[in-house]
């Protein structure tokens, strides 16, 4: 499904409300898959930028969310909590992450859009779904 996503945490630390409200949501295709160890993974994909073969590349837009749990849902939006992994040298760190996800109303099949500013043709996907506003933001408890 095509969605807009804003990350509510940065390396396990909650982002300030003003920063979350001002954040430009990433637009892409939300998908899930099972890792070889059985762990559930949530990912956001978009089409690559550039020309030629790079323009058709399916890129991962955010670090995957491991073991996502649905934390809240309301009309057209939901929040998922899980962990993201960060490898520095030979050490892997896991950080708490919450994704604020808003569904796009016009689910245009076959179009994977990463950002309507770079892909103007994707603006038709968004339809009448207004941009995220402060009143849409999840509560502080998310």
Q: How many domains does the chain have?
A: 1
Mean pLDDT of 88-101: 94
**Is 141 inside any structural domain?**
no
Cα(first)–Cα(last) distance of the chain, in Å?
22
**Is 63 inside any structural domain?**
yes
pLDDT tens by residue, 100-138: 999 886 554 444 444 444 344 444 333 334 444 445 555
Burial of 119 (0-12, 13-18, 19+ CB in 10 A): middle
Domain range for 55 is: 2-131
**Is 137 inside any structural domain?**
no
pLDDT tens by residue, 49-78: 545 555 555 677 888 999 999 999 988 889
**Is 142 inside any structural domain?**
no
What pTM value is reported for the model?
A: 0.67
Mean pLDDT of the chain: 75
User: What phi, psi does 70 have (nearest 5°)?
Assistant: -70, 120
């Amino acid at each position: 499904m095509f969605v807009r996503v804003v990350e509510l945490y940065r390396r396990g630390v909650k982002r300030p409300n003003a920063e979350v409200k001002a954040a430009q949501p990433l637009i892409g295709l939300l998908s899930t898959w099972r890792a070889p160890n059985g762990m559930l993974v949530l990912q956001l994909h978009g089409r690559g930028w550039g020309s030629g073969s790079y323009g058709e590349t399916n890129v991962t837009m955010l670090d995957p969310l491991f073991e996502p749990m649905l934390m809240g849902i309301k009309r057209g939006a939901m929040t998922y909590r899980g962990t993201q992994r960060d490898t520095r040298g030979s050490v892997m760190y896991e950080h708490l992450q919450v994704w604020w996800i808003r569904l796009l109303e016009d689910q245009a099949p076959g179009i994977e859009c990463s950002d309507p500013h770079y892909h103007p043709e994707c603006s038709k996907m968004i339809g009448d779904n207004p941009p995220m506003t402060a009143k849409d933001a999840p509560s502080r408890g998310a």
